[in-house]
Amino acid sequence: MTPEYFTSDPATALLSLQEVVTEFHTEQGVVRGIDGVSYDVRPGECLGVVGESGSGKSVTIMSALGLLPPSATVRSGHAWFDGTDLLQCSERRLSRVRGKEIGVVFQDPMTALNPVMSVGAQIAESLRAHNPGMSRTARRARVLELLSDVGIPDPAERAKQYPHQFSGGMRQRVMVAIAIANRPKLIIADEPTTALDVTVQAQILDLLLRVQAEVGAALVLITHDLGVIAEMADRVVVMNGGRVVEQAPVDALFHDTRHPYTRALLGSLPRMDSDVGRLATVQSQTQGLAVVPDAAEQRLVRVGPDHYVASAYAHRADGAEPDAAESKEVVA
């Protein structure tokens, strides 16, 4: 039987990444941080992107948005958003997309927010940049509406305050307010619950789902927390070493896991319903990023409905254990 390979589809996807390659220039030479990443984000869905730190989750999205550091360069690929290839856009065109059509909730609100501007002024700045005809009165009303929508009490008073006067959870709520201010088509949440306690994490995640539904946006949730993915995502993309190794509907990923790296991630989670003994640890793959693997082995092959895995592992059924050589690749 001829294998069916994954092909991104800009015609039906809101955001379609096609063979994106991003390189970093380091003292040790050029490192390929993103190596041919392709996946689609469909209208209205929540797509989870998971993997260990350094796997390329955030860099892939930042490549599409033109928010890379000076040491990084997108070498090839396409990032189709609503019919436009973002990788071919000028900075001026990207500035019109970012904040209006695509909203971003960054990982650390304390560094993402301006410490010398009031919270209200920072939300209003986004409105002013993308709605130049909006009056000052309308902007202020929209700022207070947004603060109320994200659950900040006494918005008229809190809008005058500065980021340091807010708790971590409240600062993240402000980031969500800025991200949805212009009713974007796509919301990107990059590790939005880092450094928050469990109760606040749940509140922020519930808030993201609620505002996603209210504005009718798609949501890309970048995280290393598989528990969050199980609760929120419709589909999941698993990244390792700058490449997509598996993507599937959330139920299929947890119950019909095919790639040994995905299996290792799941094996590293503690369980309440059984005694698993010593948890598995996942060995970092980032030190091997300078090595370009066999392209044929990295192509994603269909193994089930909307379920794709790197072709080297496409033959594995659920529960099949990788051989010793494969195990050494992903599990320490």
Residue 277 has pLDDT above 80, yes or no: no
Q: Which domains does the chain have, with CATH numbers?
A: 15-101+185-330 (3.40.50.300), 107-181 (no CATH)
Taking the C-alpha atoms of residue 188 and residue 105, their distance in angstroms, rounded to an integer, is 6
Residue 318 has pLDDT above 50, yes or no: no
Higher pLDDT, 216 or 283: 216
User: For residue range 45-74, what is the model confidence (pLDDT) as tens digits?
Assistant: 999 999 988 899 999 999 999 999 999 999
What does pLDDT average to over the chain? Answer: 87
The pTM for the full model equals: 0.88
Which residue intervals of the chain are DSSP H helices?
57-65, 91-97, 109-112, 119-130, 136-149, 155-158, 168-180, 198-215, 226-232, 250-255, 260-267, 295-298, 324-330
Secondary structure of 43-61 as H, E, C letters: CCCEEEEECCCCCCHHHHH
299 φ, ψ (degrees, to nearest 5) = -65, 140
User: For residue range 121-168, what is the model confidence (pLDDT) as tens digits?
Assistant: 999 999 999 999 999 999 999 999 999 999 999 999 999 999 999 999
* Cβ(261)–Cβ(282) below 8 Å: yes
Taking the C-alpha atoms of residue 237 and residue 309, their distance in angstroms, rounded to an integer, is 10
pLDDT over 90 percentage in the chain: 67
User: For residue range 163-219, what is the model confidence (pLDDT) as tens digits?
Assistant: 999 999 999 999 999 999 999 999 999 999 887 888 888 899 999 999 999 889 999
Q: How confident is the model at residue 290 (pLDDT cuts 50, 70, 90)?
A: very low
Please classify residue 273 by burial: count the beta carbons closer than 10 Å to its beta carbon, then call 0-12 exposed, 13-18 middle and 19+ buried: exposed
